Amino acid sequence: MSRNMKTWATPAVGATFLIMSITGILLFFHIDIGIIEPVHKWAGWILVVTAIAHLLANAKPFTAHLKSFRGVSIIAAGAVVLALSFYPWAGEESNPMKKALGALQHASMESVSSIAGTSSDELVARLEAHGITVGNTADSLQETARNNGESVREILAIIFE
């Protein structure tokens, strides 16, 4: 690879790693201030691109690592951890937050207004001010989202703003 790629790829990986590690630690400890979460997510994409550029710029040294048992073992261990991360160890049923959100999205808009600490009329007015039509307060949050071509998350953001 060109010398030019080496001059920017390695520092870019380092800078992106710095962003990812600090924002990741903050998110791990539920310190969600500012725009940490979106910065972390987007920096992840940047890390992918810069890491690929870094590997391409350093292809010979990287392939040399693949010739050693230690190098192959470390990459294999990473692949195993990645594969295991897709396994639903706890299962969605054991996550109370997912259960609560599932119940909330199937609840009627009238029930949702009560949870939000407002009246049904106030909730409908707030949603209509954002272009969301509530056909019937007996409809579920999910039905209301689907009828308006919106996600449940978007409607919840309006309700709890």
What does the DSSP assignment read for 102-139? HHHHHSBHHHHHHHTTS-HHHHHHHHHHTT---S-TTS
Residue 143 has pLDDT above 80, yes or no: yes
Q: For residues 155 and 124, give the distance between their C-alpha atoms in angstroms, rounded to a whole number.
A: 11
Q: Report which of residues 24 and 100 the model is more confident about.
A: 24
Confidence at 2, pLDDT banded by 50, 70, 90? low
pTM for the model stands at 0.57
C-alpha dist (Å) from residue 154 to 39, 69, 127: 20, 50, 11
What does the DSSP assignment read for 19-62? HHHHHHHHHHTT---TTHHHHHHHHHHHHHHHHHHHHHHTHHHH
Torsion on CA atoms 71, 77, 79, 85, rounded to nearest 10: -160
Residue 137 has pLDDT above 90, yes or no: no
pLDDT in tens, 19-48: 999 999 999 998 889 999 999 999 999 999
Residue 42 tokens read as 């987007």
